[in-house]
Amino acid sequence: MYPTKIALVTGASSGIGRALCIQLAKKGYFVAGMSRNMEKLISLQNKIKRFNIEFLPVQGDVRIEYDCKKFIDTVIEKWGHIDILINNAGISMRALFDELNLEVLHELMNTNFWGTVYCTYYALPYLLEAKGSLVGVSSIAGYQALPARSGYSASKSAIHGLLNTIRIENLYTGLHVMIACPGFTSSNIRNTALTADGSPQNETPLEEGKLMSAEMVAKKIIKGIEKRKRQVIMTTEGKLTVFLGKFFPAFVDKLVFKNLLKEKNSPLIKKYQYGKN
């Protein structure tokens, strides 16, 4: 066994990804972080240096297969093994399906789903060797469809299908597979969420100060990894949504609709106020 545990995190430059890198470093893991923003990765590296822990910044785009392979290869070249891969990189969107540009769906799937596929594919041999942990940072949207988030819900559902299949294929190999569903988290994801034409919405419809912090989410994910849990659903609302959705799906659909109708500038308001159907 190697003396130092190695953890990889995509989408490492901000939000949950950045918090994961810091929390893992505090626990003694050597961490590799991938992001398109090298400047932010270097800033993160300087912060982690204070813990006397190595951090490997790798610039890359999870939408590009070559970049994902390069991320894994760079880690193996430096440290020789991988114990944890956390597929965290992701984007969101908010627009009605009948109003959006199809490129928005391509962007969501390329980032959220294919980014997870590429990194997982190239890291899997090393995770199997280490009997390590494969993690996907998902959402309740992977269990329950959310109106005005068709691409987001589709990409997260696809991630669930992928990781659950990999889990079953490796029931007896020692591989740990976990799906983490944080719920609404205070981060920049809603500001960068895509609108119908593919431009960022540049605002958040939620009161960010009342949401779970990225640091708390990171701690819960790491605790789930340490306990080798199958899934981690972090909010009471999320747990109820998943549970009730199994037995009363139509009821939950109505609750979700009603809840998201209340969002600031909800696309649903226009659709129903002006009689679109």
Give me the domains of the chain, ranges plus CATH numbers: 6-247 (3.40.50.720)
Q: Which of 80, 77, 56, 91 is nearest to 191 (CA)?
A: 91
For the record, the structure tokens of 52 come out as 């006397």
Segment 142-153 mean pLDDT: 96
In this structure, what DSSP letter does residue 165 have? H
pLDDT higher at 100 or 183:
100
Q: Is the pLDDT of residue 71 over 60?
A: yes
Confidence band for 48, pLDDT divided at 50, 70 and 90: very high
The confidence score (pLDDT) of residue 272 equals 81
- Position 190 pLDDT exceeds 90: no
**Do 144 and 241 form a contact (C-beta atoms < 8 A)?**
yes
Q: Which residue has the tokens 């889990």?
A: 167
The active-site residue out of 152, 172, 272, 274 is 152
Tell me the pairing of strands 133-137 and 30-35: unpaired
Q: Among candidates 262, 29, 260, 208, which has minimal Cα distance to 133?
A: 29
pLDDT of residue 277: 45
What's the pLDDT score for residue 183?
79
3-state secondary structure of 154: helix
What is the mean pLDDT of the segment spanning 139-161? 96
pLDDT at 3 over 90: no
* Catalytic annotation present for 152: yes
pLDDT at 264: 84
Q: What is the token pair recorded at 80? A: 């020789």
Select the more confidently predicted residue: 4 or 124.
Answer: 124
